[in-house]
Amino acid sequence: MADQLMVADDLVAGYLPGVDVLRGCGLVLGSGELVGVIGPNGAGKSTLVKAMFGLLRVRRGAVLLAGEDVTNRPAHELVSRGVGYVPQLQNVFPTLTVEENLRMGTYLRPRAFAARSAVVEELFPVLAERRRQKAGSMSGGERQMLAMGRALMMEPRLLLLDEPSAGLSPTHQDQVFERVKQINAAGVAILMVEQNARRCLQICDRGYVLDQGTNAYTGTGGQLLHDEKVIELYLGTLARAR
């Protein structure tokens, strides 16, 4: 595997005192890798990403970034260290224009706006076309593109995606997965939590299956996609739930 860029080791975390959603799960993301996290609803997938990004306090375990312990560091500090995050919900500023949303992506380095916006608009041409449009009036797929574009404005080395295809039409889902592959091909490591398990495993280098806050299975995307136990216990259920 490539050099370890981000590691979650034996994480325990939850939203309520004494109630743990994560119960000792972990993962390893190498530089330049595309890693997927799948599992049934309530398995702790989104909780894992939030804990890694400093949005949820880790009660036990550690998060390492390029070998340095960043457990419970604030999210803005991780952004400054090259980690981008795209939440599933409320991922754009609806009353701001597309351009203003992208400017928010460079709030730590405002002078980088012109150069980075050119790169992002090349990857997402619709953002250039809709530059003056309010984000709240865009379609769900377009808002997802904007959210990903804003996260890329700081030129991250790692991008955390929480359910990027959730609620989108099949066409927009296809576009999102294609853009994820493009971003990864450009050298950005990606950790993607996904409910669309089959599509996720089709494009990722490696995958983790979470169940009840712990690691149930891990392997390459192809191995998990064709593992009989994974198909029976997870892929079938997730496919019907889509």
Q: What is the pLDDT of residues 84-107, one digit of tens each?
A: 999 988 899 999 999 999 999 998
Q: What is the pLDDT, as a whole number, of residue 64?
A: 98
pLDDT in tens, 35-66: 999 999 899 999 999 999 999 999 999 999 99
pLDDT of 110 over the 60 cut: yes
pLDDT band at 1 (very low <50, low <70, confident <90, very high): low
Strand order in the sheet with 206-211: 83-86, 158-162, 189-193, 34-38, 206-211, 214-220
When pLDDT is cut at 50, 70 and 90, the band that residue 240 belongs to is very low
The pLDDT of residue 233 is above 90: no
**CA torsion sign, 213 to 54 to 5 to 63?**
negative
Six token digits for residue 52: 């890694």
pTM of the model: 0.93
Q: Give 235's pLDDT tier (boundaries 50, 70, 90).
A: confident
**What is the per-residue pLDDT for 234?**
85
Residue 115: the pLDDT is 96
What is the dotted CATH code of the domain comprising 4-241?
A: 3.40.50.300
- pLDDT at position 2, please? 63
Please state, in angstroms and as integers, the Cα–Cα distance from residue 119 to each residue in 122, 123, 183, 206, following that order.
Answer: 5, 7, 11, 27
Q: Domain segments of the chain: what residues?
A: 4-241
Average pLDDT of the residues in 106-123: 94
Q: 3-state class of 13 per DSSP?
A: strand
